[in-house]
Amino acid sequence: MRTLVLYESQFGNTAEIARAIAADLGSLGPVELYDVQHALPDMQSAQILVVGGPTQGHTVSKALMAALDQLAPGSLKGSLGGAFDTRVKWPKWLSGSAADGIAHQLTRKGAQLVAPPATFIVEGKEGPLAEGELERAREWAHDLAAKVAQEALPREAVT
């Protein structure tokens, strides 16, 4: 399975989370990790696409949204997806959520989300990550990998 973890990070916190997620998703096979600030991969050929970024202005950053906008509606049909963000520890109604916006974009493009969007907390605008967040990211990725493995089973074997 071709797995991509695509992220955007300003202060390095989201990059740390993305690396932790990518490392755990390695149980499914090779994982490619991409920062949207550099060259973009062919996202349409990924069987698994996990996308994350910092919450900025209550939603997805402009750089990450631009990357997702390059995909036509329905172009991720058949792909399994996951979305995550980093944000300060405020109530969601106050801070917003990039993960929710990313999840919306992924489903609009045709991906099937196999895990609820995840949020990982930073201590301030520039970080650092709150204690235990890297471990939570690994756990989220582990759960996502288990759900992907379950989705990949032939339907007859699930009964």
User: For 14-42, what is each residue's pLDDT tens digit?
Assistant: 999 999 999 999 989 999 999 998 877 88
Q: State the pLDDT at residue 32.
A: 95
Residues in contact with 139: Cβ distance below 8 Å, sequence separation at least 6, in sequence order: none
Residue range 102-131, pLDDT digits in tens: 999 999 999 999 999 999 999 988 899 999
- Mean pLDDT, the chain, rounded, equals 91
> What are the tens digits of pLDDT across the range 83-101?
999 999 877 777 889 999 9
Instruction: Cite the DSSP H helix spans in 44-108.
Output: 62-69, 92-95, 98-108
Is the confidence at residue 157, as pLDDT, over 90? no
Between the CA atoms of 94, 64, 78 and 153, what dihedral angle is there, to the nearest 10 degrees?
-70
Interatomic CA distance for residues 113 and 117, integer angstroms: 9
Confidence of residue 154 (pLDDT cuts 50, 70, 90): low
Residue tagged 């390095």 (tokens): 12
CATH class label, 3-158:
alpha beta
Average pLDDT in the 60-78 region?
Answer: 93
